[in-house]
């Protein structure tokens, strides 16, 4: 029994649909990270940015927590980058807008045919940032 009395916890509960969604998300993506063919040796993520929409940020944070948990369980190291770091690596300017990033990404990487959504482009940009950062850091170390 919680401090609020009456056998109820004073802490808010996740909705059942939210818990179900996060569990399904975990079950859907765990095989991708444990598959012998596609098992990644590293993962790169953008650091969580808390904007004005805290409801949206909470949902992203919860999904991100599931992703980080599964990656940890699969022993996949995770590297995180600030949005400004990704922008600097791709465009040379830490305050580049989406259009600048998209142009530079298309100029540097052969993107798949068809229209990519914003999330897919962001994921590719983060992967390029990671690959270049790893190459640069590896070269500096020796």
Tell me: the pLDDT tens digits for 60-87? 888 888 889 888 888 889 999 999 999 9
Please report the domains of the chain, with CATH numbers, ordered by start residue.
11-81 (3.30.420.10), 82-142 (3.30.420.10)
Would the pTM of this model clear 0.95, i.e. be above it?
A: no
* pLDDT surpassing 50 at residue 11: no
Tell me: the pLDDT tens digits for 92-110? 999 999 999 999 999 999 9
**Length of the chain (residues):** 142
For the residues of 31-71, what is the DSSP string, one character each?
HHHH-TTT--S-EEEEPP---S-HHHHHHHHHHHHHHHHHH
Higher-pLDDT residue of 73, 14: 73
Q: What residue has token string 């802490």?
A: 11
Per the structure block, which two tokens stand in for 111? 């993107």
pLDDT value for 82: 94
The answer to whether 44 and 81 are in contact (CB under 8 A) is yes
pLDDT value for 8: 54
């Amino acid at each position: 029994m919680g401090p609020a009395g009456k056998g109820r916890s004073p802490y808010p509960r996740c909705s059942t649909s939210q818990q179900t969604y996060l569990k399904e998300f975990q079950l859907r993506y765990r095989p991708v990270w444990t598959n012998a063919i596609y098992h990644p040796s590293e993962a790169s993520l953008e650091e969580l940015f808390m904007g004005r929409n805290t409801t949206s940020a909470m949902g992203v944070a919860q999904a991100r927590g599931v992703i980080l948990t599964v990656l940890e369980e699969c022993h996949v190291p995770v590297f995180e980058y600030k949005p400004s770091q990704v922008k600097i690596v791709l465009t040379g300017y830490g305050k580049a807008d989406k259009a600048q990033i998209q142009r530079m990404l298309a100029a540097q990487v052969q993107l798949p045919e068809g229209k990519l959504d914003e999330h897919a482009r962001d994921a590719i940009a983060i992967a390029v940032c990671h690959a270049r950062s790893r190459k640069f850091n590896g070269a500096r170390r020796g």
